[in-house]
Amino acid sequence: MAHPFLPSPYDINSAARKRHIRYRFALPDAISADLPQTAEQAVSFSNGKLRIDVCPECGPGMPTDEASLTRWRRPTAWMQSDDPAIALWAKSARSRISDAKTMERLSQRTRSRLKDVDFTGHYSARTAWQRRAGDCTEDAVLLATMARAAGIPALVASGMVHSRDRYHGERDGFMPHSWVIAYTDGAWRSYDMTIGEFDSAHVAFTVGEGEANTIAAAYLIAGLLEWEALSEVRPRPEN
């Protein structure tokens, strides 16, 4: 597997991270990419060229039919939202104000539970809960599980995020990362409890239910990408 850290061709300042960023990549011959389209991410692929636009309203969103929402509230082998201890903590955090407020409370509780940083392995929500440790993948899997236990449809997105900090001996680039996509207050939105907030420096390569193979697939895709361009998209000034 190629090294998962991708040096960034440009620095991404704090203002740009809150606006519209366009990523362009090339992929090796005979490789196609069926990447997720979310509320914040739009993807187009043609002739081996991949364009990804990320901004607060860039994407078409995800399914909102009742069957899909019901499915994404259920427990799974990796997201045991029916575990009594997890369910108790999650349901007691439910806010009457909004789903977004509930996600804020769940993020705080998940952070207080996973106090220790541990980069070894990949664990289910129940195991992460018991170990009280993990990295961004366990953060995301447990938070999504807590959301489901509170009645909020949730999934785990995996891909990369821009960081200025040192990672595997390098800095100022894109590193592997996972976060949560949840259906809150009538819309799909991304939540990143590890970094603190979601922004346009996040690029999703897979969306799943916390399973290890889906998260690993995101890192494999990252290893195949070849940078072509990175730019901030701004509205044309009015005359």
- The per-residue pLDDT for range 4-48, each reduced to its tens digit, is 667 777 778 889 999 999 999 988 775 666 899 999 999 998 888
What per-residue confidence (pLDDT) applies to 1? Answer: 40
Q: Is residue 22 part of a domain?
A: no
**81: pLDDT strictly greater than 60:** yes
Question: Are 159 and 219 a contacting pair, CB within 8 Å?
Answer: no
The residues pairing with 183 across neighbouring beta strands, listed in sequence order, are 188
Q: By percentage, how much of the chain surpasses pLDDT 70?
A: 92
With respect to residue 104, please indicate whether it lies within any of the assigned structural domains: yes
Q: Tell me whether residue 179 is in a domain.
A: yes
In a domain, 26, yes or no: no
Residue 200 lies in a domain: yes
119-143 pLDDT, tens digit per residue, is 888 999 999 999 999 999 999 999 9
CA atoms of 168 and 170, how far apart (whole Å): 6
- Comparing 101 with 28, the larger pLDDT belongs to 101
What is the tally of structural domains in the chain? 1
Is residue 160 situated within a structural domain? yes
Full domain range(s) for residue 124: 63-223
Q: What is the pLDDT of residues 200-226, one digit of tens each?
A: 999 999 999 999 999 999 988 888 888
User: Which residues fall within 8 angstroms of residue 77, CB to CB, at 6 or more apart?
Assistant: 124, 211
